[in-house]
Amino acid sequence: MKNPVDVDVTQQQRLDAMAVGGLVGFRTLLYKEVLRFWKVAFQTVAAPVLTAVLYLLIFGHVLEGRVRVYDQISYTAFLVPGLVMMSVLQNAFANSSSSLIQSKITGNLVFIMLPPLSHWEMFGAYVVASIIRGLSVGLGVLLVTAWFANLHFAHPFWILLFGLGGAGILGTLGLIAGIWAEKFDQLAAFQNFLIMPATFLSGVFYSIHSLPPFWQAVSHANPFFYMIDGFRYGFFGVSDVPPLYSLAVVAVAFVVLAALALHLLRKGYKLRH
């Protein structure tokens, strides 16, 4: 007859082994996802930085001196945080969505589904990798575009907070899109008809107070607006809506999307054929 203490020790050892194995699986998948985009950094990091610089040069040159959003803040300075956050959001989405759709089409998704990875570990690895890519691109855009404007860092903590929150939301949304899409055309439609319009209509290039009342109301229904407005508040200490309200919207959006993504992963929706 086994000693109850020995049974408890054995069960504890199994739980410890499962915890260590899960941590190894999470780290391995995270390493794979980070290495996937970093090995082609010229395309995944440098190219988006160049795109943001071109936006800055074109819009800054055309509208500088003609548009002033906040007092004592030039239009170019106003534009830089919006471009940084836009780059963070778009690249965080691209990382998780492109990884899953490529795995589906090439057939190597089976190598991710076979190991004993929980849906929590898969979710964490994909989203954290997306955050790393989004913030890497955003930092690159900030370092390059900072030469063109006199930036302030009124509240660095808010900059980091909204940067992480925005990248997390778009990484999660990219995960959902990658799970749902079965071919590149569907993923492109998701990006072109949802991500791009929501990004460009979020106040990257303008303040919503310059819009007619109807479009101001539409902007307030766009979660992307709160990400960018809160992020910009970290630079200048002024915003179109209170930053705590923006943070609440961002937090709720992340929780809802994370719950949906975890549910899809747990069910194996369009992943287990």
Tokens found for residue 15? 């739980």
What is the model's pTM?
Answer: 0.88
Tokens found for residue 90? 């778009």
**Distance between CA atoms of residues 85 and 205, nearest Å:** 12
**Distance between CA atoms of residues 95 and 101, nearest Å:** 10
**Distance between CA atoms of residues 262 and 183, nearest Å:** 21
User: For each of the chain's 273 residues, which pLDDT tens digit applies?
Assistant: 545 444 444 555 544 544 555 578 899 999 999 999 999 999 999 999 999 999 998 887 776 666 667 777 788 888 999 999 999 999 999 999 999 999 999 888 888 888 888 999 999 999 999 999 999 999 999 999 988 888 889 999 999 999 999 999 999 999 999 999 999 999 999 999 999 999 988 988 888 877 888 888 888 999 999 999 999 999 999 888 999 999 999 999 999 999 999 999 999 998 876
